Every structure is written in structure tokens, then in C-alpha cells.
């Protein structure tokens, strides 16, 4: 689907057809739509293939006067009645007269622009418009990282009360999301630093200030992800040690109980043998019970002193 937007009265609004200075937003474009854009704007077909490739990493490319910027953005996906954080690439093409965005699916970041939520953004100022998109991407990363932090704290509290596979899997999913974020943010940082050099697109003073703001936000997000990854790794190791210690304690208690319970079995087995006069006090039926009780209590006291219970 192809949609056209233009800044009218300081607000981005939808328009019916293409105009110079408008923003062209392509979401899951059909083959004929892609072919039309390639023909009308003299765009390399590889630019669209790269933009629609889920595994494409962040980079910059120039061809025929068109600049392609691939950046990874954060997304939230539903997975088994829960949510999962991941990343996906979007392509931003800067043509001589327009900005074209290409994405595999609808994203909240671009929706904020198409719905006019973001104010004072002008589609005819192509470079600034692109950097405003990147600034919203960085802000969305920071927002999701804070959400992940709250979710991890909630899961950790649940694990303190009851360590189940469900909570452990949740922590693993959180850690995996942070790894995705870390990898994508570092790739985006490299792309932004290339843009900062001004070799791929011309930067004016205002553009450079805005790009610096984006880089600061991205670096902050990278730092936060690194901190949370270290905390998550330490948390997983700590809970692993706790689970191991709990298992050792359970095995120790079971071994002690097995030892104590085996005493009556041994005594009853000895006094159950047909031996005349071979065992002390074999004429008293109650003696094996008393002896078993005394030995069991003694064994319990000894094991308790040795911290086996």
C-alpha cells in the first residue's frame, strides 16, 4: 500500500496524489506498486529488495542520485499470549524531491507521523524529516528498554516466590530481546556516524544539530541495553545458583531421611532371622522397637549437627 503525506499548516496530512516535497509511505507494497516507484523516481530495484528483507542490516547506499538508508527499528510482537520485543528494518529513500519510506508492515513510529501526532515536521525539508524519523526511533528504543526493565523486575519478584519454568523462559526471552536491541542499535550507530561525515547527504547546521541529538539518544540506548544485559546475565547466574543449592539441599534431606528410615528395616531384618540365642534380648518383643527408636533419634541428632536437615 502506498500513501502520500504532506505538511499542511504545520501538520502532516494525507493527500490523494504525489506532489513534490511530499512523503511517500510504502507498507507491504505490491509488485506493481514497487515497479511504478522504480520507474517514476529512477530507483534501483535492489533498494526495494533490501528494504523488504527482514534480515537486512543497517547501512547506507547511493545510486542514481537516490540515497538509501536502512535502519533497524524496535517492534513489539505477540507470542504465545505474551509480547516479545524484536527489531525490523525500514528503508528510507531520499530522492531529489521526496522522501520514500518502505517497511514490511505497519509500524507505530511511522504511524505517529502519518496520523499527525508529531508536530512541526516538514516533509519538504527532506533531511530534517529523515532525522526526525530517526529521533522517534531512538525514543522508541528507550521506551521499550524501560518497559523491558519493568517486566524483568516483575518476573524476578515472581521467581523469588516460586521458581517455575515459565519465569525462567520469560527471563530468557527478555535477554534475547536485549541482544536484538544491542545488535541493531550498534548497527544504527555506525550508520548515523557515516551520515555525520556528510559524504552521503548534504548537512546544514540545523540538520547536524538534529543528527547529533539522534546519536546521543542512540548511544544512551546502547548504554542502557548494555547495563540491562549485564544485570540480566548476573540475575540468571544467581537464580541458577539458587536452584542448584535448593536441589542440593533437597537431595541432602532425602538422603538423610533414607538413612534414618532404613534403621528400623535393618533392625527388624536382624531380629526376624531364625537364630536361637544369637541376638541380645531376643526374648523381648518390644526390644527391636526401642532399639530402632533410639538409633533413629541418635542418627537424627548427629545429622542435624552436621547440617543435613
Task: Give the C-alpha separation, 107 to 84, whole Å.
Answer: 15
Task: Examine the pLDDT at 274 and tell me if it is beyond 90.
Answer: no
Do 73 and 88 belong to one domain?
yes
Contacts of 139 (CB under 8 A, 6+ apart): 217
SS3 83: strand
Average pLDDT for 90-116: 88
User: Does the pLDDT value for residue 190 go beyond 80?
Assistant: yes
Cα separation of 2 and 244, whole Å? 56
pLDDT tens profile 200-253? 777 777 778 888 889 999 999 999 999 988 888 887 777 777 778 878 888 888
Q: Are residues 266 and 176 in the same domain?
A: no
- Can you tell me the distance from the alpha carbon of 306 to that of 132, in angstroms, rounded to the nearest whole number? 67
Structural domain ending residue among the three candidates 244, 266, 291: 244
Of 137, 85, 88, 82, nearest to 111 by C-alpha is: 137
The CATH number given to whatever domain includes residue 54 is 3.30.460.20
Q: Which among 202, 228, 244 is the end of a domain?
A: 244
The backbone torsions φ and ψ at residue 5, rounded to the nearest 5 degrees and listed phi first, read -135, 150
Q: What is the phi/psi pair of residue 14, to 5°?
A: -75, 140
Q: Among candidates 121, 125, 72, which has minimal Cα distance to 99?
A: 125
**pLDDT score at 273:** 66
Q: Compute the distance between CA of residue 96 and CA of residue 128 in angstroms, rounded to an integer.
A: 14
Domain boundary among 244, 265, 290: 244
Amino acid at each position: 500500500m502506498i500513501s502520500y503525506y504532506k505538511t499542511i499548516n504545520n501538520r502532516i496530512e494525507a493527500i490523494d496524489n504525489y506532489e513534490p516535497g511530499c512523503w511517500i509511505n510504502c507498507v507491504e507494497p505490491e509488485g506493481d506498486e514497487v515497479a511504478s516507484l522504480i520507474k517514476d523516481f529512477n530507483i534501483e530495484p535492489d533498494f526495494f529488495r533490501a528494504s523488504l528483507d527482514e534480515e537486512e542490516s543497517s547501512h547506507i547506499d547511493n545510486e542514481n542520485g537516490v540515497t538509501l538508508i536502512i535502519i533497524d527499528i524496535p517492534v513489539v510482537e505477540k507470542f504465545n499470549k505474551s509480547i516479545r520485543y524484536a527489531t525490523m528494518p525500514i528503508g528510507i529513500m531520499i530522492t531529489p524531491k521526496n522522501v520514500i519510506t518502505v517497511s514490511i508492515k505497519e509500524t507505530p513510529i511511522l504511524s505517529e507521523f502519518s496520523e499527525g501526532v508529531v508536530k512541526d515536521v516538514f516533509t519538504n525539508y527532506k533531511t530534517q524529516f529523515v532525522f526526525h524519523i530517526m529521533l522517534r526511533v531512538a525514543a522508541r528504543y528507550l521506551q521499550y528498554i524501560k518497559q523491558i526493565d519493568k517486566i524483568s523486575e516483575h518476573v524476578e519478584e515472581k521467581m523469588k516466590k516460586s521458581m517455575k519454568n515459565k519465569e525462567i523462559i520469560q527471563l530468557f526471552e527478555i535477554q534475547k530481546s536485549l541482544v536484538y536491541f544491542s545488535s541493531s542499535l550498534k548497527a544504527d550507530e555506525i550508520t548515523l556516524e557515516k551520515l555525520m561525515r556528510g559524504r552521503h547527504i548534504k548537512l546544514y547546521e540545523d540538520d547536524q544539530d538534529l543528527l547529533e541529538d539522534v546519536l546521543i539518544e542512540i548511544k544512551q540506548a546502547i548504554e542502557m541495553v548494555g547495563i540491562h544485559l549485564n544485570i540480566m546475565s548476573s540475575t540468571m547466574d544467581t537464580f541458577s545458583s539458587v536452584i542448584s543449592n535448593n536441589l542440593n539441599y533437597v537431595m541432602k534431606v532425602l538422603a538423610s531421611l533414607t538413612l534414618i528410615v532404613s534403621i528400623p528395616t535393618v533392625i527388624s531384618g536382624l531380629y526376624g532371622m531364625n537364630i536361637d540365642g544369637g541376638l541380645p534380648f531376643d526374648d523381648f518383643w518390644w526390644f527391636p522397637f526401642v532399639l530402632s527408636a533410639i538409633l533413629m533419634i541418635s542418627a537424627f541428632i548427629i545429622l542435624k549437627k552436621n547440617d543435613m536437615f
